[in-house]
Structure 1
Amino acid sequence: MGEKFLTHYQVLGLARTATERDVKIAYRKAAKIAHPDRGGDPAVFRQITEAYETLVDPAKRHAYDKSYASGRPAAAPAAGSAHAQAREGYRGSYGSPGRAGFAQGPGFSTRRTSGPRPTAGDPAIYLPAYESLAPGETPLMPRPAAAQPVHGAPRKRGLFGASSRLAREARTAQLVMQQVLPGIPAARLINGLTAPHGAGYVDHVLVSGYRMAVIGSMLVPNGAFRWDGSTLVHGSKVVAPPQLIPATRAFQELFPECNVTAWVCVHSNTGNLFEPVIDYARGTAPDGSSTVNVANAARFTREVKHFLAAGPSPNAVDLSILDRLLGGMY
């Protein structure tokens, strides 16, 4: 948790919307400071060069964005250099997510800080704060985009069942927008992401603070169901939920600062949020403690809100996390 990971955009101090010309200018400025011939740190210079070689090549940059811009450990720049000062300023404003209500130094500390613990209903704060930027410094992403609660839309894919899948995903997205987002100002819903573990897509990702929900949905017939931890059982029929575990594990590896779990919203064809009725085997209740949590629409919204609100700094919009998620949309 204490080790800072930087994306190529952060290494060069660029927004994801930077042009090729912006990349070249940023590289020249950074290279002048970090070049070993000028007393710079070789590790930092290698990091800057790798960032430039990736972002200046359109094909490499597209592939990098689709990989959710996986960060690398930040190299330790030479003390007193402009690059070091900028890096330390970023760390100071960004901090370490850690555990809400506890002090965070270079490592993990359990010393309780003063002041009330932030709640999910508090106004959203941005990390790093836009107000902390130096004059002329480029933010990780434009503030209007960071303030937008919903990004993207259900994506049409495949030839068969496309209309029913789009309708189901739209119902889930609408449910989140109506029942979850109004109560958690920092929550951000991203729809139609590319799958981080291979081919395909992820329906939705919902993030607030340092908790992330990977969301899928399914439509089932009327009746009572039982969830045994891996399948829904309806009478003598077994209904498998969407396969979200690979994507959830991949997101957890990509975003180690977050607690990532999968959620399946089960819709009935009646439109009643409390249907279908689902009985749960011992230890499989959808409370966020399982890798996959399955619930009808009413319980889904209640449990997801609790899951997000119980996390550290639930009122924080981490710009690094959000920016990388948006980069993985297309």
Structure 2
Amino acid sequence: MAEAPRKSYYDILGVPPEADTKVIKDAYRRAARAAHPDLGGSAEQFHDVAVAYETLSDPQRRERYDADTGRTRRASAGTASAAGSSRTPSGPHPSAGTRVEDEDAAKSPPDYLPPFSPSAPPAVPLILAGRQVHGSPRQPGMFARRSSGVRARIDGELRTAALLDRALLPTYPAARLVNGIEFDDREKTTAGHVLLAGYRMAVIDSFTAAPGNFAWDGRSLRHQGRSVDLQLPRTVRAVQDLFPECNVAGWVVIHGAPDNPFAPVIDVPPGFDRSSTAVVQVVNAGTAVRTIRSFLSSGPAPNVVQLPVLARLLASAGS
């Protein structure tokens, strides 16, 4: 039986060949959500969506693609061959039937998506894509440093960056940590750290604990009976909107004594399920590494490094 003709990149995104950049971007967001492996799609489907967007959103790549295909709605056999050749340089790609999950991710080398070739260079230079740590926590001005709250955040972010670099990244080759994020969206959304692995993204804020324990019930954080305003839930929602291709969750890491990452600085109600998959978790340093790693590695194809996503994170990172 003859194989069905391969869909063109325009068909994959559901746009006409004359679509402008905004239409293509909007279509990509819809297609990425529909194809996302965490939402019923597959790594193979998401790969096709990512490659289609990377090609059609770049004027030069799109021009070459249109010349090769004659801007037809349905790709020919020759087009299928050309499109297929762009998938070979980085080796076989995970599909729905060959997903690398859970602890296998810790032992697997990174698989870069979309694959690249001399005619289709990667979205991030390989010397950068291969690094696991990027950027640094932002530093406030001289007067802001006098605030105890600002100092607690700075100390917390420095300790979190060091913790992740020491305890998580060496065991997870595909994870990429980006520090000091400020996105160029309407709200100028900021985040202390973002960890990217596969199709999942962990957004992390942190601070050092003030005297007295914190209380967390899964919805609100209190310190000595007074409510603590958490920015992270809003940040997670904003980041999810910016990166519809990812499953985004958040962590607030509260650091206690430097020599005890499991210091009991957070009280929880009896029977509280610490393993629940909440959008935002509040944890101590010791629990942070375990729960963040579990979230990232339990997603589909967790050893993938999404180069377009990493490129956008690096563009927003502190120097």
Q: TM-score, normalised by structure 2?
A: 0.69
Alignment of 1:11-22 (within 5 A): 11=55
Match of 1:40 in 2: 71
Provide the rounded CA distance (Å) in 1 between the counterparts of 2:213 and 2:151. Answer: 26
Taking only the aligned residue pairs, the percentage that are identical comes to 35
Name the SS of the counterpart of 1:120 in structure 2. helix
* CA deviation after TM superposition for structure 1 residue 113, in Å: 4.7
Match of 1:199 in 2: 188
**Residue identity matched to 2:71:** G
**Is residue 249 of structure 1 aligned with residue 249 of structure 2?**
no
Residue deviations 1:185-208 (CA, integer Å, cap 9, x gap): 111100111145612421100111
Q: Is the 8 A contact 1:230 1:240 kept in 2?
A: no
* CA deviation after TM superposition for structure 1 residue 289, in Å: 0.5
Say if 1:85 and 1:163 are closer, same or farther in 2 by CA, change over 3 A. farther
- Given candidates 140, 150, 153, the residue that maps to 2:123 is 140
Q: TM-score, normalised by structure 1?
A: 0.67
Provide the rounded CA distance (Å) in 2 between the counterparts of 1:257 and 1:93. Answer: 23
**Residue identity matched to 1:40:** R
Name the SS of the counterpart of 1:204 in structure 2. strand
Match of 1:124 in 2: 109
Say if 1:139 and 1:287 are closer, same or farther in 2 by CA, change over 3 A. same
Unaligned runs of 5+ in 1: 15-22, 42-75, 105-111
Residue deviations 1:10-43 (CA, integer Å, cap 9, x gap): 22697xxxxxxxx7xx37xx5366279x9424xx
Unaligned runs of 5+ in 2: 1-34, 36-44
Once superposed, what is the RMSD of the aligned Cα atoms?
A: 3.8
Higher strand share: 1
Residue deviations 1:199-247 (CA, integer Å, cap 9, x gap): 2421100111222100001222244332122333344333333x11222
Say if 1:115 and 1:190 are closer, same or farther in 2 by CA, change over 3 A. closer
Alignment of 1:278-297 (within 5 A): 278-281=266-269, 285-287=273-275, 289-297=277-285
* CA deviation after TM superposition for structure 1 residue 290, in Å: 0.4
Match of 2:135 in 1: 152
Say if 1:116 and 1:309 are closer, same or farther in 2 by CA, change over 3 A. closer
**Is residue 213 of structure 1 aligned with residue 202 of structure 2?**
yes
Provide the rounded CA distance (Å) in 2 between the counterparts of 1:261 and 1:283. Answer: 23
Match of 1:187 in 2: 175
* CA deviation after TM superposition for structure 1 residue 149, in Å: 0.5
Residue deviations 1:60-117 (CA, integer Å, cap 9, x gap): xxxxxxxxxxxxxxxx5643576x655454468899x9xx8xx54xxxxxxx459998
How many residue pairs match? The answer is 268
**Is residue 228 of structure 1 aligned with residue 260 of structure 2?**
no
Match of 1:240 in 2: 229
Match of 2:76 in 1: 79
Say if 1:284 and 1:320 are closer, same or farther in 2 by CA, change over 3 A. farther
